[in-house]
Structure 1
């Protein structure tokens, strides 16, 4: 099948929301640079950006073969034969011309990646609410010094470190993000000296010679001064690269103050402390009509309400919210050491003291527990985690505010702005309705977590299996034990090794994992030695899938792009309209890993009503899992019981298998 002339693919112009050298100034001559900057890298922030390799488009036949491999464990023989026929027709027909046009478009847009615009559009066109559905949470570990977990002290230190990080980024002296295959050989002064003197057009190749891989930093400037704006049909992203103020929310009220002076330098810690103390001293009861709750709604509904807010004279306040460097949320509620409460508060809260459209919100609870909730369209976890790790390290080792610090600022009441919005009866009714709907929604979601001790990164190394593969195998075994089924499973993998890379999907449900789970749960269970060999095969297969995804050789983004182009040209293709394609892309198990010494917990909501949202981390001697689910559509608590049993089985198998005995 070929495309007719009238249906031939057009060539869009990519206009991604990314940083460029134009967004940076050169390093300024500032007073007290030790305070102004978190980092002063010899290698400029964007030094490697120009020479980053471009995200490859895999070969069509390989993408089709990988798609079939992902479908095989989910389908019976008849369904699989049907999918094979559809794939063959596509690969030898319409797919050829779609793929040809995709490559043509890619060549005409060498400044970006083939997936970039489509991926932005996918996020920005989706009309479902942001909290739970899209915005993830990451919670910091507490400061090891208890006295620094005071709410205002911790908020002040995190605010200062955040702005120091931002200024280092803005002035181009934040250290570039580099993945070091062998840090002892490449994370060195020699590496930095060599790559610094290479021209940007060659710098990536110099790093590669050290077996180091610079990562794309095009998303980083989107961290600050940014917001997602609801519009009917498709949202938009805004960014003020010269923003000087932050937004603060408390008890449903909005405040703002400048954290940079007229010359662009960070104000003194005592001034920041004074301004936060002033906000904390506001004795008004919680806002009866908190406008932030409106950001919890369907995007078209919120877009209409925001338009009405603008019509009745709130343009200046909304612009101040949109362009703030970030949102600092001060909650009255304490977490009381309750892990479920922590996850719920940072994932969704009650919505009254949130503004989910901001690129990220730095949330500090009443007892100093802190975390980040971030909007997802502008970027992925790589940029957020770098920021997260850097400010945690600094605030716990080099705080600028201590329990002995005192505020020192006159007329603070004239410096901190109270951002009051004009509301009419219509908007007050909208707020009341949104509050009830949101409460009903998040109350239907269950949160459960598991810390499984006794097996972790160290044990996996001794067993010669990948920790990530072992976690994913546990998820497959648990779901099969609970339901007797194999389902569409999603694991996120960053493609930040490429210019404007986003993510690729790993499909952890494989024929190898199915074979293991079937054997594990059969009446004629094989020996532990045989099962251990199966685990090793699962690990090898999974590691290959991870490698392919990270190198831009997965199939999901390629097929996504081809499907997108087919839809733009009104083409109905069986490969994309079949129930089997929909089933694979209905992520009953949606998983993502986040491991860092700074992280207490991370997670997200289910991506489908009957699905499970699985955030997990691998520690040296334990494995942690946070599971969200909607009752009564799925049972996260039951899944974790099955997961505990599955980890027990896997651990016993590996311990008992003779091939691993000394």
Structure 2
């Protein structure tokens, strides 16, 4: 409150603003002149606000009140437990609230106050990823699929990869030069997303600037994750992995048919090499007639993490340390595929897991490109979340399609290529380990089922006009589909960013609510006829509740991360867990059957990930101006993705009928 009062005084001091205005204008003019100069060919833009301008003043992620968290926890449990299970959990929660919970809450708050540079969840959440011993393929790495280049003549593997590499390097350099426009969520873009806002924000001292932005109804977002995007790799270690960033690397890692290649994309001064030089190196790799690698070492990155840690040490002992360093320190990875899939399910498989040894999954960022130019980002998840990747995604798509550096008329400078092929030294034991890892990988990916849905009856704008939020409708469709398929409500996870806070990560939106449960019974169960008006009222109630859950999650007022923080504190400081966390029903609510996520952007076609439990579904979805898309994964026979897609379609059809004022048909 003190900071906000001081800021109001500062902004009202019109004399000071008038004095600074000439300086602002002259800087603006200089900015405009410099932006168009040749010196800026290595950068996306030059923001007049430093990238980290808001970072110091970002609010800290709040620790919710214990009673509020436990109330929300029980409300969510009520939807998935039997009466007896619920009564048992209520007793455990009430006991926890006045005993261990009270003490843990006090200690968590005290620890948070000692670490004001970060959030209470940042390290535990980061460590959760790094301590997991599960293979990161299917359990960790998601993918996001770029839209095709709107110019068909540029939808070419060589052209598109060259343009995307240069745009990616420009993004990296703009970020590291601290001139990338800060991530800001504008509640009213017409009033705040303009130069006037930026001029005023530039004049406010950094300790107060977040509060100035807030007065303009904007929310600056945390950008601490971005620094881990490039030259970074997750290194397997026994018990807990390590994220290593080496900014000295000037080279790119390219993989094709399980073979490894590296070449420099920056010169000794850190400048981006001429596009023709980069294009020549890519062309040389594409022309390499080497057969697919029969010893694809990259498959080890899909292994159990402790197994991979032991294999990596063995590789180093065999003389592969420098090779591994080149892979680890590469700016990012580009994976060329010789296939040209057109089926959405085949595209998902290529981008989510591919063939054995085709992707180095430990790299923080990998671009995967089919022979037809279809492109995705596959990223290791420990270092960051969708918000950071989305910013990269949007910038690279826009720059590569609107400011292309190579064109269909560009000739390949074959004499400019300078590519080094990497070879691993393997003994007989490692060759046998490699073949076992390939078999294990193939068995794992064959157990995954993938299905896709494109739906065109209504769109994002149609849903908004109906009075529902598009995301609430999609989540209700998922609940209706599962209820129709299995006749029950189960633990559901929807990811929500908490990037509005310093070092925020994510919070869970628990989309299975009393409102969705009631809507499911009205739409699906056999009972006396329900009017269209009552069905629509039930849908609107779901939307209202979902909106409340989303706002709470975004503001750090969910219950999942708070309970997780308390649990980790108990493990680390007490060496034992209270009954609250050993309760089988706590395990049940965290055994996620419906894992869901969406990322909305004109640059994204769809995203995807595997289920987080053997009997669950991974549901990536998007609502756009022209269509609705679902990407569903599962592990049969305990789940049935094709039938789930049928049930989603039925749910969307039923809700469309209701929004159109008609009663939906009962049969599927």
**TM tier relative to shorter chain:** over 0.9
**Which deviates more from structure 2 when the two are superposed, residues 235-244 or residues 120-129?**
235-244
**Which deviates more from structure 2 when the two are superposed, residues 49-58 or residues 144-153?**
144-153
The SS at the match of 1:656 is: coil
Match of 2:561 among 557, 572, 578: 557
Matches within 5 A, 1:572-583: 572-583=577-588
Residue 135 in structure 1 maps to residue 127 in structure 2: no
Structure 2: which 5+ residue stretches go unaligned? Answer: 1-30, 664-668
Matches within 5 A, 1:488-499: 488-499=491-502
The residue that corresponds to 1:620 in the other structure is 625
Q: CA RMSD in A?
A: 1.6
Q: In structure 2, what is the Cα distance between the partners aligned to 1:328 and 1:551?
A: 36
Shift of 1:411: 6.0
Shift of 1:595: 1.6
The SS at the match of 1:179 is: strand
Q: In structure 2, what is the Cα distance between the partners aligned to 1:30 and 1:228?
A: 38
Residue 501 in structure 1 maps to residue 504 in structure 2: yes
Shift of 1:409: 6.3
Residue 148 in structure 1 maps to residue 154 in structure 2: yes
The residue that corresponds to 1:544 in the other structure is 548
The residue that corresponds to 1:96 in the other structure is 102
Residue 471 in structure 1 maps to residue 474 in structure 2: yes
Q: In structure 2, what is the Cα distance between the partners aligned to 1:653 and 1:575?
A: 42
The residue that corresponds to 2:349 in the other structure is 344
The residue that corresponds to 1:159 in the other structure is 165
Shift of 1:456: 2.3
The residue that corresponds to 2:25 in the other structure is none
Matches within 5 A, 1:402-421: 402-408=407-413, 410=415, 412=417, 415-421=418-424
Match of 2:447 among 444, 448, 459: 444
The SS at the match of 2:319 is: coil
* Structure 1 segments (4+ residues) deviating >6 Å: 27-31
Shift of 1:307: 0.6
1:613-637: CA deviations, max 9, x gaps?
Answer: 0000011243211000011120111
Shift of 1:95: 0.3
1:534-560: CA deviations, max 9, x gaps?
Answer: 111111111000000000000000000
Q: In structure 2, what is the Cα distance between the partners aligned to 1:495 and 1:385?
A: 15
Contact 2:452 2:629 in 1 (8 A): yes
The SS at the match of 1:610 is: coil
Q: In structure 2, what is the Cα distance between the partners aligned to 1:29 and 1:419?
A: 39
The residue that corresponds to 1:273 in the other structure is 279
Matches within 5 A, 1:224-373: 224-335=230-341, 337-373=342-378
Contact 1:586 1:608 in 2 (8 A): yes
Residue 216 in structure 1 maps to residue 219 in structure 2: no
Residue 516 in structure 1 maps to residue 537 in structure 2: no
Q: In structure 1, what is the Cα distance between the partners aligned to 2:657 and 2:85?
A: 36
Shift of 1:369: 0.7
The residue that corresponds to 2:38 in the other structure is 32
Shift of 1:331: 1.2
Residue 532 in structure 1 maps to residue 539 in structure 2: no
Which TM-score applies when normalising by structure 1?
A: 0.93
Contact 1:361 1:374 in 2 (8 A): yes
The SS at the match of 1:313 is: helix
Q: In structure 1, what is the Cα distance between the partners aligned to 2:35 and 2:243?
A: 32
Shift of 1:30: 13
1:264-287: CA deviations, max 9, x gaps?
Answer: 111101111111111112111111
1:55-100: CA deviations, max 9, x gaps?
Answer: 0000000000000111111122221111111111111111000010
Contact 1:529 1:657 in 2 (8 A): no
The residue that corresponds to 2:604 in the other structure is 599
Q: In structure 2, what is the Cα distance between the partners aligned to 1:357 and 1:563?
A: 28
Q: In structure 1, what is the Cα distance between the partners aligned to 2:416 and 2:42?
A: 24
The residue that corresponds to 1:23 in the other structure is none
Over 3 Å counting, the alpha-carbon distance change for 1:411 and 1:506 in structure 2 is closer
Q: In structure 2, what is the Cα distance between the partners aligned to 1:275 and 1:180?
A: 41
Matches within 5 A, 1:623-638: 623-638=628-643
Contact 1:271 1:408 in 2 (8 A): yes
Contact 1:459 1:621 in 2 (8 A): no
1:304-335: CA deviations, max 9, x gaps?
Answer: 00010011111111011101110011111112
Matches within 5 A, 1:51-90: 51-90=57-96
1:212-232: CA deviations, max 9, x gaps?
Answer: 110000000111000000011
Match of 1:432 among 432, 435, 440: 435
The residue that corresponds to 1:6 in the other structure is none
The SS at the match of 1:73 is: coil
Q: In structure 1, what is the Cα distance between the partners aligned to 2:384 and 2:56?
A: 19
The SS at the match of 2:159 is: helix
Q: In structure 2, what is the Cα distance between the partners aligned to 1:189 and 1:166?
A: 24
Shift of 1:251: 1.5
Q: In structure 2, what is the Cα distance between the partners aligned to 1:525 and 1:472?
A: 24
Contact 2:233 2:362 in 1 (8 A): yes
**Which deviates more from structure 2 when the two are superposed, residues 617-626 or residues 102-111?**
617-626
Contact 1:604 1:614 in 2 (8 A): yes
Shift of 1:531: 1.2
Contact 1:458 1:621 in 2 (8 A): no
The residue that corresponds to 2:400 in the other structure is 395
The residue that corresponds to 2:24 in the other structure is none
Shift of 1:579: 1.4
Q: In structure 1, what is the Cα distance between the partners aligned to 2:605 and 2:571?
A: 42
The SS at the match of 1:46 is: coil
The residue that corresponds to 1:647 in the other structure is 652
Shift of 1:604: 0.2
**Which deviates more from structure 2 when the two are superposed, residues 458-467 or residues 105-114?**
458-467
Q: In structure 1, what is the Cα distance between the partners aligned to 2:455 and 2:280?
A: 44
1:597-616: CA deviations, max 9, x gaps?
Answer: 11122110010001000000
Residue 423 in structure 1 maps to residue 450 in structure 2: no
Q: In structure 2, what is the Cα distance between the partners aligned to 1:254 and 1:392?
A: 26
The SS at the match of 2:78 is: helix
The residue that corresponds to 1:16 in the other structure is none
Shift of 1:394: 1.2
The residue that corresponds to 1:609 in the other structure is 614
